[in-house]
Structure 1
């Protein structure tokens, strides 16, 4: 199954969470040296008991998706720092191993951050560059208690 890549927008990304991007409106504070937009994403409703920051580095590999994971107790934020790649997501209510047509593949770079709502199926992004680096904000207990992985009988070719 070959797929197409979508450019993330707030509407297209809504089934998975929130897209955090530089606003198009005038900056809250501007000088000749910087522009600053305040309160671009309200995190007060973030579902995390003890948020921590992690670091993720992914390297270029074959564009074949054969498993996905989700976290049912916590939201997760991916903040790309370097590189470009493909981020594959599936809504929480679907089983990507049985419904691969429900998986959406996004072209991503460091222009946006991605707040995934709990339950959203995902896997480590696939770099188009040699590697990608991310800051990850997730609940402290996620790695030990909240990783649910499903493996695919038939892998999904992304590109």
Structure 2
């Protein structure tokens, strides 16, 4: 069996512009005009950060992350809904993305990683390839908003040959598909 190559990806600071191919930041953005809602004498400003899309049962799960090596073995996507990661408790996390495409696998040349400082979350476009976020600190809680069938697709009876496939889930093993593991450099 051949040795697996490590593809090194430098972790970047997330900006709205850098994240644009993958989705939108979920946090305060003064460039987005508030809606014309004038309750509470203007003390509450409501802005739409982005449009969450789901045409089926949607759920909010809380995932508690422990630190693991910054090596992405998998990438997955959901073509029927957006997905959001929102930090609880202001702990930082690292997220890895590749833009949506029409191919069966992500484009390795387009992969980017970002260190979120815990002050804002992120909502991906439909079809954005990603690995589940990496904790920088143990016991990092993330609110994850997604379709229920995507969560169900990750259960062990749907995992075949180290990959999972469901009605709105394609989770691919990067070593098996490309002979690489993606190593993140902080």
Which structure 2 residues correspond to residues 62-73 of structure 1 after superposition, within 5 A?
A: 62-73=69-80
**Quick one: which of 2, 10, 17 aligns to 1:4?**
10
| CA deviation string 1:61-89 (max 9, x = no partner) | 11111111111111111111132121101
**Number of residues paired by the alignment?**
151
Cα offset, 1:51, TM superposition: 2.4
Structure of larger gyration radius: 2
| TM-score normalized by the length of structure 1 | 0.82
Residue of 37, 41, 47 corresponding to 2:45:
37
CA contact (8 A) 1:69 1:150 kept: yes
* Alignment partner of 1:151 is 2:173: yes
Deviation at 1:115, TM superposition (A): 0.8
Counterpart pick for 1:103 among 87, 105, 111? 111
Contact kept, 8 Å, 1:7 with 1:108, in 2: the verdict is yes
Q: Does 2:23 align with 1:17?
A: yes
CA offset at residue 131 of structure 1?
3.3
Is residue 149–residue 168 contact of structure 2 (8 Å, CA) maintained in 1? yes
Query: Structure 1: which 5+ runs fail to align?
Result: none
Please give the alpha-carbon distance, in whole angstroms, between the structure 2 residues aligned to 1:72 and 1:81: 26
Counterpart for residue 132 of structure 2: 124
TM-score normalised according to structure 2 size:
0.71
- CA RMSD of superposed structures (Å): 2.3
Q: Which has the higher helix share?
A: 2
| Residue of structure 1 equivalent to 2:4 | none
Superposed displacement of residue 11, structure 1: 1.0
